[in-house]
Amino acid sequence: MSLVLYGAPLSPFVRKVEVVLREKGIEFEHEPVTILPMPDWFKEISPARRIPVLRDLSVGKEGPPGTIPDSSPICAFLEKRTPEPALYPSDPYDYGRALWYEEYADSEIGPRMGMGLFRPIVFPRFAGKEPDIETAKKTWKEGLPPLFDYLEGELTGRDFLVGDRFSIADIAVTCQLTQIELAAGLPDESRWPSLVGLVERTKARPSFAGNLAICRKIVKEPVDLDA
């Protein structure tokens, strides 16, 4: 086995890489890494201090050689390494659009969801404290709906975000939305039917099953922020 994935399964970015690996049938070893606190050896291979990092043991077994930090370049590397099944469109325009949706999921949904909803609910539980429901509700009702509105508009009448096939765009968006689901459930299907439909179809793929099963055991019950 030549690939090692460093990170924690509860990270939506680790989830994204896991899904790509499994969609492509690539064998890998998962080495858990927590970032609170981050081990010194991991700081050497993750300059941005984030998970995940992928190591290709055929290139290097220690230190930075052989490593790729950050989920997006890792997924791009995996596409080049194992082109089939393709998870990035071949058409230049569709390719660019897929990268945009991946970036939107990672840079817009991810931080707003993570800092405003997931962490306020889940992290206090780990410390045996009460969740910060006020912060989570504000994000749920004010911070996230504009992002959901945008994606709903992009998806209306379509099964996939780009073209007529499953891609990295659908994976990236679903990884962030399943993170929201773990903490607070999915958005209102009556308001965002196309978005929720995409997430339901995508998370049902076998490539998501292992990660989500582990995450549900860790997080347990979501909080009802509409109550």
**Integer Cα distance of 203 and 211 in angstroms:** 10
**74 and 134 housed in the same domain:** no
pLDDT, tens digit (0-9, with 9 covering 90-100), for 52-93: 999 999 999 999 999 999 999 999 999 999 999 999 999 999
15 Cα distance to chain centroid: 5
Nearest one of 105, 87, 136 to 13, comparing CA atoms = 105
CA dihedral 150, 194, 184, 120 (to 10 degrees): -20
CATH number of the CATH domain containing 127: 1.20.1050.10
Q: Is the pLDDT score of 1 beyond 80?
A: no
Domain membership of residue 98 (yes or no) is: yes
Q: How confident is the model at residue 169 (pLDDT cuts 50, 70, 90)?
A: very high
**Integer Cα distance of 96 and 104 in angstroms:** 12
Domain membership of residue 225 (yes or no) is: no
Q: Is the pLDDT score of 35 beyond 90?
A: no
**7 and 35 housed in the same domain:** yes
Domain membership of residue 190 (yes or no) is: yes
**109 and 214 housed in the same domain:** yes
Neighbours of 14 (CB within 10 A): 24
**Integer Cα distance of 61 and 41 in angstroms:** 13
- Domain span at residue 72? 3-81
Nearest one of 152, 143, 161, 17 to 101, comparing CA atoms = 161
Of 24, 48, 81, the last residue of a domain is 81
CATH number of the CATH domain containing 35: 3.40.30.10
Domain membership of residue 162 (yes or no) is: yes
| Residue type (1 letter), 71 | S
Q: How many structural domains are present in the chain?
A: 2
**131 and 195 housed in the same domain:** yes
Taking only Cα atoms into account, the Rg of the chain, rounded to an integer number of angstroms, comes to: 17
Query: What is the pTM for the complete model shown?
Result: 0.96
Domain membership of residue 154 (yes or no) is: yes
Of 40, 58, 81, the last residue of a domain is 81
Q: Is the pLDDT score of 37 beyond 90?
A: no
